Amino acid sequence: MSLFGVMRTGVSGMSAQSNKLSTVSDNIANVNTTGYKRASTEFSSLILKSGSGNYDSGAVETTVRYAISDPGNLSFTTSTTDLAVQGNGFFVVQDAQGNNFLTRAGAFVPDSQGNLVNAAGFQLMGYNVQNGATPAVAANGYAGLQVVNVNQMTLQASASTTATVAANLDPSAANVATPAAAAGPTNYTSKTSMVTYDNIGNAVTLSVYAAKTGANTWDVEVYDPAGNVLTTHGAATTFKFDVSSTGKGTLDLVGPPPSATSLTVAIPGGSGAFKIDLSAMTQVASSFDFKATVDGNAPSSVEKVNIDKNGLVTAVLQNGSQLPSYQIALATVPSPDHLTPEVGNVYSTNLDSGNVQVGLASQNGLGTIQSGALEDSNVDLANELTSMIESQRSFTANSKSFQTGADLLDVVVNLKR
């Protein structure tokens, strides 16, 4: 046995316990850090081959592991842009240099430009779904991702293109006096209106007139605010209803023409055709009723942002319009616990973690997104304090081993005197 070996083994033990104390200190310091994942120190022995009569003391080495896949508890907040992942997955974020990372720290707030950034300054990434776009997901990379910006829809106008109508025409109404004439301000049974929007967001009110021209037959015409008819009177504006035991007052869609189900007009100042879908219109024993859902909107600033469990970011404008703008991306790797921790509570991939897989919430094994919540650190303070005491005792014991070897070495040196 070598006295120098005893001392080196003692030093190895003290170094290992120092590493453990370092991880414990980090865990305690970050006990309140959103999305922080606990670090732990694992010990393994380094044994030297010894002869039958002598024992050569070895050493101990440490490996730091991170409990990245261990979720923390959720704390609920009042901010809709505070986000937490429930289940598998990480938010994809980007630093100022455009480098992508993964994180579970979802305390995002809009910066001066409207970009969602967390406390460490990383920007949240997602797919642009404005104007009905489909997320262009690249499963094995970050292609197609953009910084989520909640102010991009501010003061944006959208022209109306479609109206979906749920209406009922009164079957007990009398026929109009001049059935051959088009329905209009002087020749109608029922009248209503709907608000649409032109290219620059001006509100354009369209008047809709319905005239009963015969048994179960109606003429429906659309007029602009100046009183000009926008429809072409004829088969395209004639609607017939099936009142048989099978039809029960629905539009007669299977009979010979006329069998129209919609009207197509041009909104003054609008872009292209505006379709009014009347396929749900009925003629049952009830009074006239007309409800229309019209797309498009006037310019308006963003009042708030809603984010659903699938990560769809919807801008709620001051005029009440709701405009989907982004779909937040989630990502995962085959071995999350082997990700490399980086400054700012983010992670990067490496050979041990495997390649990144990007997708959308609730799809392909990824979890859901909880708006108005944050994931707490998964550090257990009581366990960390216990580990600190254990490591302190072990460090002291190793120092005693070193001290004993040093004392024995003094004895050997003093034999010369």
pLDDT digits (tens, 9 = 90+) for 289-302: 999 999 888 888 88
Task: Examine the pLDDT at 179 and tell me if it is beyond 90.
Answer: no
Q: How many domains does the chain have?
A: 3
Task: Examine the pLDDT at 54 and tell me if it is beyond 90.
Answer: no
Statement to judge: residues 81 and 149 lie in one domain: yes
Tell me which residue range forms the domain holding 238: 162-294
pTM above 0.95, yes or no: no
Cα separation, 11 vs 404, in Å, equals 12
Statement to judge: residues 279 and 345 lie in one domain: no
Statement to judge: residues 243 and 341 lie in one domain: no
Statement to judge: residues 277 and 179 lie in one domain: yes
Q: Is the Cα torsion angle 196, 199, 202, 207 positive or negative in sign? A: negative
- Asked whether the beta carbons of 278 and 165 are under 8 A apart, the reply is yes
Give the length of the chain. 417
Which string of DSSP letters, residue by residue, matches 119-162?
A: TTSPEEEEEE-GGGPPP---TTS-TT-EE-BSSTTTT--B---E
Statement to judge: residues 367 and 386 lie in one domain: no
Task: Examine the pLDDT at 323 and tell me if it is beyond 90.
Answer: no
Statement to judge: residues 175 and 251 lie in one domain: yes
Q: Is the peptide bond before 258 cis (omega within 30 degrees of 0)?
A: yes
Which string of DSSP letters, residue by residue, matches 151-164?
A: STTTT--B---EEE
Statement to judge: residues 200 and 275 lie in one domain: yes
Statement to judge: residues 167 and 216 lie in one domain: yes
CB atoms under 10 Å from CB of 256, counted, come to: 7
Mean pLDDT for 221-247 is 91
Longest dimension (CA), the chain: 137
The pLDDT value given to residue 51: 62
Statement to judge: residues 168 and 246 lie in one domain: yes
Q: Is the Cα torsion angle 43, 19, 352, 141 positive or negative in sign? A: positive
Domain of residue 231, CATH code: 2.60.98.20
Cα separation, 119 vs 105, in Å, equals 8
The pLDDT value given to residue 256: 58
Which string of DSSP letters, residue by residue, matches 232-279?
A: --SGGGEEEEE-STTTTTEE--SSSSP---EEEE--TT-SS-EEEE-T
